[in-house]
Amino acid sequence: MSDQGYRPPFYLGIDLGGTSIKSGVVDGDWRPLPKPAASVDTPTSRVKSIHDEALDALQRAADHAIEASGLAWSDIEAVGVGSPGTMDIPAGLLLEPPNLPGWEHFPIREVVADRLNKPTTLQNDANAAAYAEYRAGVGRGTRSLVMFTLGTGIGGGIIEDGRIISGRHSHGAECGHIIIQMEDARRCPCGGLGHLEAYASATALVKRAHEALDRGEESALRARAAERHLTARIIDEAAEAGDALATRLMRETAHYLAVGAVTLIHTIDPDIVVFGGGMTAAGPSFLDAIRAGIRAMAFPVPAARVRVEYAELGPDAGFIGAAGCARQEREATITVGG
Amino acid sequence: MSDQGYRPPFYLGIDLGGTSIKSGVVDGDWRPLPKPAASVDTPTSRVKSIHDEALDALQRAADHAIEASGLAWSDIEAVGVGSPGTMDIPAGLLLEPPNLPGWEHFPIREVVADRLNKPTTLQNDANAAAYAEYRAGVGRGTRSLVMFTLGTGIGGGIIEDGRIISGRHSHGAECGHIIIQMEDARRCPCGGLGHLEAYASATALVKRAHEALDRGEESALRARAAERHLTARIIDEAAEAGDALATRLMRETAHYLAVGAVTLIHTIDPDIVVFGGGMTAAGPSFLDAIRAGIRAMAFPVPAARVRVEYAELGPDAGFIGAAGCARQEREATITVGG
């Protein structure tokens, strides 16, 4: 790989998702090899524990990534795994991740370390994505970053002075589950009331569109809703085409996200707030609406200075960040040990 | 002092407030000398800049503390100053603190360091109080703490893995200014809509009581309100005596605080959430109501494990924490330098 200038240290990242496991190597300059990541299907089972199959799948994904990178396993310093919750990060243990049936109580860090014979780090996937944007994406050069990942739900990651806030009970940076409304509040899929995710996820946006249509509001969205084809993307496209209801729904979504961002600006006060995930396909006008809300609601000094941007790395952020977490942990250990 | 077992290193803390400047020394075991702090009046002026008087007052407070401690200036490693906002912490500069007229744009860190001839640290007073509880108060032995200081307003402090989150623009941990309500929201004294402080400060509690009385609700509070003597303390006492309106107002206040705490539990996920300030005079039933709200609304794992307590150090937290911040900065510098 020397003709492309990749240079050590090399870390392998594994991004464990409900449908696929993506893996790739990141070089000393945080460049991914390969890009896009190598991928294998995620085995799941609703009837039994499948820890052996799970480990085999993780190894296959990692082996594919090594092969695609042109490196040897001996070039790899350590392995990072990013996983959806719930988990016990210090124990390296998955608990009961809703999107990974059959993986419950899987001691993932230890078994991956044993199988791949590499020091292994476990991190929440949203925290890993935030770390990737901080190191290799739109947050390069900053010291603190708050990230919202907008998809079916809303994930989050917080980097403060270069360190991931994963929380004392591995429940830090659940930025979709901050409370933005107390009275007559919407219920979140997690069961909580008034959470940001209940207002501003793609799922919530579609739900709010159906509610408005059910109230009889006129909109180009009505035909698609009747076909049960309403999606966040379609609502955004209707807004771009000038549909009044769709425009209002997108503007409200931006406002809800700005409210959530202001709460984190008034507590973390980061260099940059980053929005990632599928809903960023809505493009610059949606980002500008979020920015305008933040400028209007945050304290003057951070309102004037905080950067508000879309993420840069797309779906590769998962494995880049997982590898980055492994690197961070290893370098911290070496520093302390040395 | 050796017969009382005080031992080095000694740090001097100065707690700068709108009416008085309190100062004291903290020993190597985080014990304050003297307790309560030495105190002088805070000079202020609405018509001119009073930087010279301000510095003289800071020195008098510090000198009183040294005298009361029985130590000599040569025993003091460094000085910490805790001040109300606004400020630029990295620059050591007060900006336009609303409670300190005449102190605007005062380069407090540099002038105190020059006058007292000691390395000097500036920190937000609420952050300093949180650091004091973390090191010397109810948070001893933890690694992360979120604190709400309940008074006329609501201040905040966040310690994460032993470090103060003061924010990139010195606006971190403004826990009173997280948004808990978007629609039909109350306006905060800072101008923002839906902030926790607009619902749950002592001022907000009294305002809500007046509103209920204006709506014609029956209550023992009515006579005191007519005399314009309604205070948070009186409302709490009426609640303890069984008054229905007062009971509901206190219960609602506890709920609002629990909502704010849950947002920070879902982002910081600390070991402990601490409530300090004058409103903690409401006693154990108020704390229990806050706890119950948190247990009901937070994710199950942190809900079961996070501690929720009143602060222990009272008004001494300010100077203890200011001294503690000086110690933390000095020890971090020595570690890096060594």
Q: Are B304 and A211 in contact (CB under 8 A)?
A: no
At A231, list the tokens.
Answer: 């999606």
3-state SS of chain B? Answer: CHHHCCCCCEEEEEEECCCEEEEEEECCCCCEEEEEEEEEECCCCCCCCCHHHHHHHHHHHHHHHHHHHCCCHHHEEEEEEEECCCEECCCCEECCCCCCCCCCCCCHHHHHHHHHCCCEEEEEHHHHHHHHHHHHCCCCCCCCEEEEEECCCEEEEEEECCEECCCCCCCCCCHHHCECCCCCCCECCCCCECECHHHHCHHHHHHHHHHHHHCCCCCCHHHHHHCCCCCHHHHHHHHHCCCHHHHHHHHHHHHHHHHHHHHHHCCCCCCEEEEECHHHHHCHHHHHHHHHHHHHHCCHHHHHHCEEEECCCHHHHHHHHHHHHHHHHHHHHHHHHC
Q: For A27, which DSSP code? A: -
Give the residues across from A145 on adjacent strands.
A159, A272
Separation in Å, CA of A321 to nearest CA in chain B:
19
pLDDT for the residue B333: 77
pLDDT of residue B5: 87
> Cβ contact (<8 Å) for A165 and B193?
no
Q: How far is B253 from chain A (nearest CA, A)?
A: 13
Question: What one-letter code names the amino acid at B89?
Answer: I
Number of neighbours of residue A90 by Cβ within 10 angstroms = 12
Q: What 3-state class would DSSP assign to A275?
A: strand
* Interacting residues of B174 by C-beta distance below 8 A, sequence separation 6+: A266, A267, A269, A299, B156
DSSP A166-210: --TTS-TT-GGGSB---TTPPBPTTS-BSBTHHHHSHHHHHHHHH
Going across the sheet that includes B272-276, the strands are: B163-164, B154-160, B145-150, B272-276, B307-310
The Cα A320–Cα A61 span in angstroms is 14
ipTM of the predicted structure? 0.95
Position A5 confidence tier, pLDDT thresholds 50, 70, 90 = confident
Residue A170 has pLDDT above 90, yes or no: yes
Q: What is the pLDDT of residue B227?
A: 85
Handedness of CA B20, B26, B30, B32 (dihedral sign): negative
Chain A partners within 8 Å of B269 (Cβ): 165-174
User: What per-residue confidence (pLDDT) applies to A36?
Assistant: 84
- Sheet containing A145-150: give its strands across: A163-164, A154-160, A145-150, A272-276, A307-310
CA–CA dist A316, A320 (Å, integer): 6
User: Whose CA is closest to B25, among B69, B86, B74?
Assistant: B69
Task: Output the pTM of the full model.
Answer: 0.95
Which residues of chain B does A302 touch, with a Cβ-Cβ cutoff of 8 Å? 167-169, 171
Tokens of A101: 């049936």
Q: What pLDDT digit, counting tens, does each position of A16-43 carry? A: 999 999 999 999 999 999 888 899 999 9
Contact check, Cβ <8 Å, A177/B266: yes
Mean pLDDT value across residues A46-55 = 97
Please indicate whether, in this complex, the C-beta atoms of B268 and A184 are within 8 angstroms of each other.
no
Looking at residue B125, its pLDDT comes to 96
Number of residues that this document lists for chain B: 338
B165 and A259 in contact by Cβ < 8 A?
Answer: no
Residues A63, B5: Cα–Cα separation, whole Å? 62
As a whole number, mean pLDDT of residues A52-63 equals: 98
Question: In this complex, which of A156, A158, A301 lies closest to B169 when CB atoms are compared?
Answer: A301
Gap between the Cα atoms of A229 and A231, Å rounded: 6
Cα nearest neighbour of B294 on chain A? A192
| Environment class of B158 (CB within 10 Å of its CB; exposed 0-12, middle 13-18, buried 19+) | buried
Give the C-alpha distances (Å, rounded to integers) separating A247 from A178, B21, B191: 25, 54, 28
Nearest to B17 by CA among B72, B66, B54: B54
* pLDDT, greater one: A224 or B333: A224
Beta bridge partners, A40, equal A21
- Return the residue of B nearest to A266 by Cα: B174
Residue from A94, A159, A170, A179 to probe the interface with B (highest B Cβ count within 10 Å): A179
Q: Name the residue among A161, A264, A297 with its Cβ closest to that of B267.
A: A264
Q: What is the pLDDT of residues B84-118, one digit of tens each?
A: 989 999 999 999 999 999 999 999 999 999 999 99
Could you tell me the strand order of the sheet in which A10-16 lies?
A32-41, A20-26, A10-16, A76-83, A120-124
Contacts of A299 in chain B (CB under 8 A): 171, 174, 177, 190
Kindly tell me if the per-residue pLDDT of A336 is higher than 60: no
Contact criterion met (CB below 8 Å) for B108 and B284: no
| pLDDT tens-place string over residues A245-286 | 999 999 999 999 999 999 999 999 999 999 999 999 999 999
pLDDT at A121: 98
Question: Is the CB of B302 less than 8 angstroms away from the CB of A262?
Answer: no
Alpha helices in chain A (DSSP H): 51-69, 108-116, 125-136, 197-200, 202-214, 221-226, 232-240, 244-265, 284-297, 300-305, 317-337
pLDDT attached to residue A333: 76
Instruction: Measure in Å the smallest separation between the Cα of B300 and chain A Cα atoms.
Output: 10
- Nearest-CA residue of chain B relative to A157? B267
Tokens of B46: 């609405």
Distance from CA of A22 to the nearest CA of B (A): 27
Q: Give the span between the Cα atoms of A287 and B139, in whole angstroms.
A: 40
Quote the Cα angle for A189-A191-A197, to 5°: 45
Tell me the average confidence (pLDDT) per consecutive run of 10 residues in chain B, 338 residues long. 78 96 97 91 96 98 97 98 95 95 98 98 97 98 97 96 96 97 97 98 97 96 88 96 98 98 98 96 96 98 97 96 96 63
Rounded Cα–Cα distance for residues A211 and A197 (Å): 17
Summarised one tens digit per residue, pLDDT across range B229-260 is 899 999 999 999 999 999 999 999 999 999 99
Please tell me the distance in Å from B134's CA to the nearest CA on chain A.
15
